[in-house]
């Protein structure tokens, strides 16, 4: 059986730092900041005013449009301000700031077990939408949109993504060990939406305990099976998983649903189960704190809106005598550097890595000209030729980049940059070039529609 995809790399896992740390709940004490744009699509619209009292689980911002998501308060207290704050992306974005009273008073009806035996598809979708669930794998695509494809009968596989392929991150591993039944139930609920689909739980081989736990929980479910995959990055990428499970390769212009697949992170499935069975909207999620600079690595259940600084302090702060050189939000391969720790976490934040040295700084000093060794081509999971794409991008030959080299198919996984012996900033170049081409396309589109209308 095929257990992996083409290309890929195997960075040092570093999971041993935190993999045995059990999940614990972190109740933040400071003010909570909820970013309005923490999902793909349009930012949510605030529905509370300054001075309003809020409770845990209360909706504080509403989805604005189809591709958007509700934002739920994770604490009780008073709305302190609605203002622009610095966010993970580095930009100043609109946020709701709540003065946390530390009581965590629940809103009414949250956490009560529901009878879901006779639930309809519409009810499931409505609950998922109300709960503000977005893809917790990292991209933050609204799950209610993902679960409502044009042709639900054509979906063959619902893939539960438990690969956790990013180095350092172990929170999904712990979640699968702790709540396997809930994840399986979440998958079952999702399967109710697609009659012809089969549930496949994909886990990398380096998590034997999680595989065993999930297998135990899934036994007795005819439509659900667990698949152990080779430990390789980016195994947890949507397209990599589909290559393995369904055996299809498809361009980025198509969505997974177009080839009969729905991929959801195990964290998302857990959130779906909480929302549908316990009527609990998404206001907390799992997250790993790791790295060589932090005193105690941890796997936490964190509330949305907590600041990174508070999370770091909850893990004992920095080791003595260590200066923090780099803080990353997410994993080391695709994560973003944080400019400050006084930034709130998003629904999709699955890691905080604290390092005493900055590998990018080192890599910059070692950078040489391209050796044309072709290693980037062998590792690219999308089957592209990064070295030639970088050449075209540096020359500014956007046409060649897009039409000859299919540069827009790049998923910015970072494998090429990881493997490059010349330490070329390949992924960074592609990220920029993609953004430039897409911006130019949007501008052309806007000019076209302006000329028409």
Partner 1 sequence: MIILITTIVITIIGLLVGFGLVFTGKKFYVPVDEKEAAVRAVLPGNNCGACGYAGCDAMAAAIAAGEAPVNGCPVGGTAVAEKVGDIMGISAEGVERKVAFVRCKGTCEVTHNQGNYVGVKDCRSAVLGGVNVTDCDYGCLGFGSCVSVCPQQAIRIVDGVAVVDESKCVACGLCVKTCPRGLIELVPEKSRVRVQCSNKDRGPQVKKVCQAGCIGCSLCVRQCESDAIAVANNLAQVNYEKCIQCGKCVEKCPAKVILPPSIQEKEASA
To partner 1, the closest distance from the beta carbon of 435 in angstroms equals 6
Exposure on the CB side of residue 155, measured as CA atoms within 13 A:
26
Q: What are phi and psi of 23, to 5 degrees?
A: -65, 135
Task: Name 45's bridge partners.
Answer: 62
73 alpha-carbon distance from chain centroid: 20
To partner 1, the closest distance from the beta carbon of 337 in angstroms equals 5
Q: Which of 112, 195, 364, 397 binds partner 1 (CB under 8 A)?
A: 364
Select from 37-45, 188-196, 309-317, 332-340 the region that touches partner 1 (CB under 8 A): 332-340
Q: Which of 16, 91, 111, 445 binds partner 1 (CB under 8 A)?
A: 91
DSSP state letters, 283-352: -EEEEEEESSSBSS-EEEEEETT-BHHHHHHHTT-BPTT----EEEES-TTT-EE-S-S-SB--TT--EE
Task: State yes or no: residue 338 binds partner 1 (CB under 8 A).
Answer: yes
Closest CA to 25 of 294, 299, 259, 297: 299
Exposure on the CB side of residue 140, measured as CA atoms within 13 A:
23
Task: State yes or no: residue 86 binds partner 1 (CB under 8 A).
Answer: yes
Count of positions (residues) in the chain: 453
Host H or E run for residue 265: strand 261-265
Nearer to partner 1, 64 or 436 (CB): 436
Select from 118-126, 175-183, 277-285, 329-337 the region that touches partner 1 (CB under 8 A): 329-337
Site for partner 1 in 190-219 (CB under 8 A): none
In degrees, rounded to 5, the angle at the alpha carbon of residue 20 between the alpha carbons of residues 224 and 168 is 85
Select from 263-271, 303-311, 357-365, 397-405 the region that touches partner 1 (CB under 8 A): 357-365
Q: Which of 65, 90, 208, 251 binds partner 1 (CB under 8 A)?
A: 90
Exposure on the CB side of residue 57, measured as CA atoms within 13 A:
15
Q: Which of 126, 139, 360, 438 binds partner 1 (CB under 8 A)?
A: 360
Nearer to partner 1, 80 or 431 (CB): 431
To partner 1, the closest distance from the beta carbon of 84 in angstroms equals 9
Select from 142-150, 277-285, 310-318, 335-343 the region that touches partner 1 (CB under 8 A): 335-343
d(CA 77, CA 216): 41
To partner 1, the closest distance from the beta carbon of 315 in angstroms equals 20
Select from 26-34, 61-69, 141-149, 356-364 the region that touches partner 1 (CB under 8 A): 356-364
Looking at the chain, the number of H-run helices and the number of E-run strands are 14, 17
Nearer to partner 1, 3 or 412 (CB): 412
Task: State yes or no: residue 340 binds partner 1 (CB under 8 A).
Answer: yes
Nearer to partner 1, 124 or 390 (CB): 390
To partner 1, the closest distance from the beta carbon of 394 in angstroms equals 10
Cis preceding-peptide flag for 377 (omega within 30 of 0): no
To partner 1, the closest distance from the beta carbon of 335 in angstroms equals 9
Q: Which of 63, 75, 88, 262 binds partner 1 (CB under 8 A)?
A: 88
Say if CB 318 and CB 294 are below 8 A apart.
Answer: yes
Site for partner 1 in 403-432 (CB under 8 A): 425, 428-429, 431-432
* Residues binding partner 1: number (CB under 8 A): 24
To partner 1, the closest distance from the beta carbon of 370 in angstroms equals 15
Alpha helices in 147-246 (DSSP H): 171-178, 180-192, 208-218, 238-245
Say if CB 400 and CB 392 are below 8 A apart.
Answer: yes
Question: DSSP 3-state assignment of 416?
Answer: helix
Q: What are phi and psi of 9, to 5 degrees?
A: -130, 170
List residues near partner 1 by CB under 8 A. 86, 88-92, 326, 329, 336-340, 358, 360-361, 364, 425, 428-429, 431-432, 435-436
């Amino acid at each position: 059986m095929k257990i992996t995809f083409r290309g890929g790399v195997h960075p040092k896992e570093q999971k041993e730092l935190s993999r045995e740390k059990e999940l614990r709940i972190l109740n933040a004490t400071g003010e909570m900041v909820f970013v309005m744009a923490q999902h793909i699509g349009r930012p949510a619209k605030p529905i509370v005013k300054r001075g309003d009292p809020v409770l845990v689980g209360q909706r504080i911002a509403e989805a604005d449009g189809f591709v958007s998501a509700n934002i739920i308060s994770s604490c009780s207290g008073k709305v302190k301000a609605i203002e622009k704050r610095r966010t993970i992306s580095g930009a100043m974005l609109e946020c709701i700031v709540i003065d946390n009273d530390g009581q965590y008073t629940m809103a009414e009806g949250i956490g009560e077990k529901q009878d879901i035996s006779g639930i309809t598809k519409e009810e499931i979708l409505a609950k998922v939408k109300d709960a503000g669930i977005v893809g917790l794998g990292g991209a933050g695509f609204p799950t209610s949109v993902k679960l409502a494809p044009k042709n639900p009968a054509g979906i063959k596989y619902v893939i539960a993504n438990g690969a956790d392929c990013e180095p350092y991150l172990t929170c999904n591993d712990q979640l699968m060990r702790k709540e396997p039944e809930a994840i399986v139930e979440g998958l079952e609920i999702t399967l109710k939406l697609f009659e012809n689909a089969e549930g496949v739980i994909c886990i990398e081989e380096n998590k034997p305990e999680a595989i065993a736990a999930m297998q135990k929980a899934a036994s007795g479910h005819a439509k659900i099976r667990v698949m152990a995959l080779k430990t390789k990055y980016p195994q947890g990428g949507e397209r990599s998983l589909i290559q393995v499970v369904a055996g299809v390769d498809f361009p980025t212009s198509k969505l997974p649903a177009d080839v009969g697949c729905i991929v959801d992170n195990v964290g998302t499935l857990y959130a779906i189960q909480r929302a549908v069975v316990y009527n609990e909207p998404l206001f907390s999620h799992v997250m790993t704190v790791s790295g060589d600079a932090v005193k105690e690595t941890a796997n936490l259940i964190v509330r949305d809106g907590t600041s990174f600084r508070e999370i770091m302090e909850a893990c004992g702060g920095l080791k003595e005598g260590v200066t923090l050189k780099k803080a990353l939000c997410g994993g080391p391969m695709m994560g973003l550097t944080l400019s400050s720790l006084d930034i709130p976490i998003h629904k999709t934040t699955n890691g905080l890595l604290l390092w005493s040295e900055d590998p990018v700084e080192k890599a910059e000093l070692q950078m040489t000209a391209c050796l044309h060794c072709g290693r980037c081509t062998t590792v690219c999971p999308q089957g592209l030729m990064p070295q030639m794409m970088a050449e075209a991008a540096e020359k500014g030959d956007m046409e060649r980049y897009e039409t000859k080299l299919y540069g827009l198919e790049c998923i910015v996984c970072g494998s090429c940059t990881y493997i490059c012996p010349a330490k070329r900033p390949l992924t960074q170049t592609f990220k920029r070039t993609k953004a430039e081409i897409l911006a130019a396309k949007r501008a052309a589109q806007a000019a076209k529609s302006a000329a028409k209308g």
